[in-house]
């Protein structure tokens, strides 16, 4: 029998500043690296950007009203650093800060718990120009300064704080795959920047514990559990490597202030390990998060790599349907050997799972596996800070959206988190991605996640009209019944 969700479970929804706000240069906001990056031709789907996004900057009251009508208990959103400090440091832009203060007040007025993310990928362009952003240790103090401004200002209003959103994703896509700003393909720089972000995270967490002793802070990590392709021991070993390289590389540092050994050694061999200076590990170890934010979309399936196991034996059961998903498998062997994970594991598709139109595996059981593994290894309270389905939604002639597929997806995952709670996992909330439709970083506005549809086809007074989808009413009843669906 399934246990009930805890009484004060935070049923929420999430968003991020660049994806919803718009007002990219309103009221003194400075540009972020995303304002610049999306203007580079060919970088985003049909050149879409967040200049206007869904105009949440001007319509936040209307959006909060929709949340309140839904009965939402928590709303996770991020702050744009360059709205508050247009130059990255220095003078505070009071108008920018006032926007967030008003938003927070509006949420509190409607009994919605704000969950505030400090960094969701949009460092001020000024800091990128000044010292290459996350590549320089100067950013550690600048981030701490930005965080302290917010801690002091909102400490009596906001209890739940997220430090960094998906550090694994924005470092990989930004420094290695030229898919996010700063648009680089440099593995060494990726690991260096990543280490500096770890230090910035630790310093800010320490500031938080000093300034907001009653609050809770943690990172939101994009976690995907790794599955072994089959029970061949070499593949199982590769899965251990994959789990370490893709997940524990960050999580072990957040929680225990240590890099996992096998991965670190591989990076040293390849000359791409981060420079760990004296005092770094002490700082990392001094700052323990109060909870882990978990963004869950899908996991990954892994088999042994051909570099470490050139016999090819591990391919024995590999059928054609297990199409390789990793661009590096197409590259010559010597080049593959230069990438750390290719010495450790290979990614393959999972034949048991269906995929979304964008190729993301749909795996509700994976969320339970994720929570169980994280609970065992890190033993912290957790909050699902993102989970959702990207889909094309059709507006009917009656101006409704019958998104039963989204309901099915979310219901499947909510049942599994209830099982995880029954297993003993300490879960404090679930924030679906996303509340309204919003900008998908690289996939434009056509890939929709929201409970609330945003009409982008109409002009004038109907432009960007908000229309609750069928899933909005379904989630409303989930919240009202504390998880029955």
Active site residues: 166, 386
Terminal alpha carbon distance of the chain = 15
Cβ closest to ligand BGP, residue 78 vs residue 82 = 78
From the CB of 44, what's the least distance to ligand BGP, in Å? 11
**Closest CB to ligand BGP among 174 and 390?**
390
- Total of chain residues touching ligand BGP, rule CB under 6 A: 14
CB of 270 to ligand BGP, least distance (A): 27
- Only one of the segments 137-145, 164-172, 184-192, 465-473 lies at the binding site for ligand BGP (rule: CB under 6 A); that segment is 164-172
- Applying the rule CB under 6 A, the residues between 354 and 393 that interact with ligand BGP are 386, 390
Contacts of 131 (CB under 8 A, 6+ apart): 138, 139
Angle, alpha carbons 293-412-347 (nearest 5°)? 65
Nearer to ligand BGP, 172 or 421 (CB): 172
Cβ atoms 166, 295 nearer than 8 A: yes
The single residue among 122, 166, 244, 393 that binds ligand BGP, judged by CB under 6 A, is: 166
Query: Smaller CB distance to ligand BGP: residue 16 or 272?
Result: 16
Binding pattern for the stretch 439-468 against ligand BGP, x by CB under 6 A and - elsewhere: -xxxx---x---------------------
CB of 72 or CB of 172, closer to ligand BGP: 172
Q: Cα torsion for 83, 12, 72, 464, to the nearest 10°?
A: 50
3-class DSSP string for 263-319: HHHHHHHHCCCCCCCCCHHHHHHHCCCCCEEEECCCCEEEECCCCCCCCCHHHCCCC
Instruction: Give the nearest distance from C-beta 17 to ligand BGP in angstroms.
Output: 10
Residue 16 CB, nearest approach to ligand BGP (Å): 5
HEC secondary structure over 163-196 = EEECHHHHHHHHHCCCCCCCCCCCHHHHHHHHHH
Residues 447/391, Cβ–Cβ less than 8 Å: yes
Q: How far is the CB of 182 from ligand BGP (least distance, A)?
A: 18
State whether residue 459 is helix, strand or coil: coil
Pairing of strands 10-14, 74-78: parallel
**Smaller CB separation from ligand BGP, 254 or 441:** 441
Residues with Cβ within 8 Å of 168's Cβ and at least 6 positions away in sequence, in order, are: 221, 222, 246, 247, 249, 250
Query: Does residue 169 bind ligand BGP (CB under 6 A)?
Result: yes
What is the pattern of x (binds ligand BGP, CB under 6 A) and - over residues 1-40? ---------------x------------------------
Residue 16 vs 226, nearer CB to ligand BGP: 16
Residue 406 binds ligand BGP, judged by CB under 6 A:
no
Alpha-carbon distance of 23 to 83, in angstroms, equals 10
Residues 6+ apart with CB under 8 A from 266: 340, 343, 344
Span near ligand BGP by CB under 6 A; candidates 24-32, 108-116, 162-170, 346-354: 162-170
Q: Order the strands of the 226-228 sheet from edge to edge.
A: 226-228, 300-303, 346-348
Query: Token pair of 436, please?
Result: 């309204």
Beta bridge partners of 391: 448
- By CB under 6 A, tell whether 192 contacts ligand BGP: no
Tell which one of 96, 181, 182, 222 touches ligand BGP (CB under 6 A). Answer: 222
Helical pair 138-154 and 94-109, crossing angle rounded to 10 deg: 50
Smallest distance from the beta carbon of 50 to ligand BGP, in angstroms?
11
Q: For strand 452-455 and strand 465-468, is the pairing parallel, antiparallel, or unpaired?
A: antiparallel
Span of 66-74, 408-416, 438-446, 458-466 interacting with ligand BGP by CB under 6 A: 438-446
Q: Are 467 and 420 in contact (CB under 8 A)?
A: no
Residue selected from 125, 295, 305, 346 as contacting ligand BGP according to rule CB under 6 A? 295
CB of 367 to ligand BGP, least distance (A): 15
State the residues that interact with ligand BGP by CB under 6 A: 16, 165-166, 169, 222, 295, 386, 390, 433, 440-443, 447
């Amino acid at each position: 029998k399934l246990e009930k969700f805890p009484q004060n479970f935070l049923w929420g929804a999430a968003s991020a500043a660049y994806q919803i706000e718009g007002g990219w240069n309103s009221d003194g906001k400075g540009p972020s690296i995303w304002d610049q990056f999306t203007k580079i031709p060919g970088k985003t789907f049909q050149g879409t950007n967040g200049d206007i996004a869904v105009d949440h900057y001007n319509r936040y009251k209307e959006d909060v009203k929709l949340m309140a009508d839904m009965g939402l208990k928590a709303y996770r959103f991020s702050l744009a650093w360059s709205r508050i400090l247009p130059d990255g440091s220095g003078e505070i832009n009071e108008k920018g800060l006032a926007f967030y203060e008003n938003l927070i007040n509006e949420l509190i007025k409607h009994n919605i718990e704000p969950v505030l993310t400090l960094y969701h990928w949009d460092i001020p362009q000024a800091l990128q120009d000044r010292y290459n952003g996350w590549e320089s240790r100067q950013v550690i103090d600048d981030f701490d300064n930005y965080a302290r401004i917010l801690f002091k200002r909102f400490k009596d209003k906001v209890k739940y704080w997220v430090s960094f959103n998906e550090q694994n994703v924005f470092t990989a896509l930004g420094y290695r795959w030229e898919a996010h700003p700063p648009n680089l393909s440099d593995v060494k720089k990726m690991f260096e920047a990543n280490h500096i972000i770890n230090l910035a995270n630790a310093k800010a967490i320490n500031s938080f514990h000093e300034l907001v002793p009653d609050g809770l802070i943690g990172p939101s990590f994009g976690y995907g559990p790794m599955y072994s392709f089959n029970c061949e021991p070499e593949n199982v070993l590769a899965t251990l490597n994959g789990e370490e390289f893709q997940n524990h590389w960050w999580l072990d540092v957040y929680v225990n202030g240590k890099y996992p050994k096998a991965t670190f050694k591989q990076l040293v061999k390849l000359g791409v390990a981060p420079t760990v200076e004296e005092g770094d590990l002490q700082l990392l170890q001094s700052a323990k998060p109060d909870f882990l934010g978990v963004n869950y979309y899908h996991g990954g399936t892994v088999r042994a790599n051909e570099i470490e196991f050139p016999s090819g034996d591990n391919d024995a059961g590999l059928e054609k349907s297990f199409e390789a998903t990793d661009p590096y498998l197409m590259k010559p062997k010597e080049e593959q050997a230069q990438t750390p994970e290719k010495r450790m594991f290979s990614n393959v598709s999972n034949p048991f799972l269906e995929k979304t139109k964008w190729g993301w595996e749909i795996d509700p059981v994976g969320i339970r596996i994720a929570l169980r593994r994280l609970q065992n290894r890190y033993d912290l309270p957790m909050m699902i800070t993102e989970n959702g389905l990207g889909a094309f939604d059709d507006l009917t002639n009656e101006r409704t959206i019958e998104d039963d597929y989204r309901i099915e997806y979310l219901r499947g995952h909510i049942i599994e988190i209830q099982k995880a709670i029954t297993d003993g996992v300490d879960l404090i909330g679930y924030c679906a991605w996303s509340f309204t439709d919003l900008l998908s970083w690289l996939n434009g506005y056509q890939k929709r996640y929201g409970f609330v549809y945003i009409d982008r086809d109409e002009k004038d007074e109907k432009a960007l009209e908000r229309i609750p989808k069928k899933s909005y009413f379904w989630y409303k009843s989930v919240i009202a019944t504390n998880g029955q669906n």
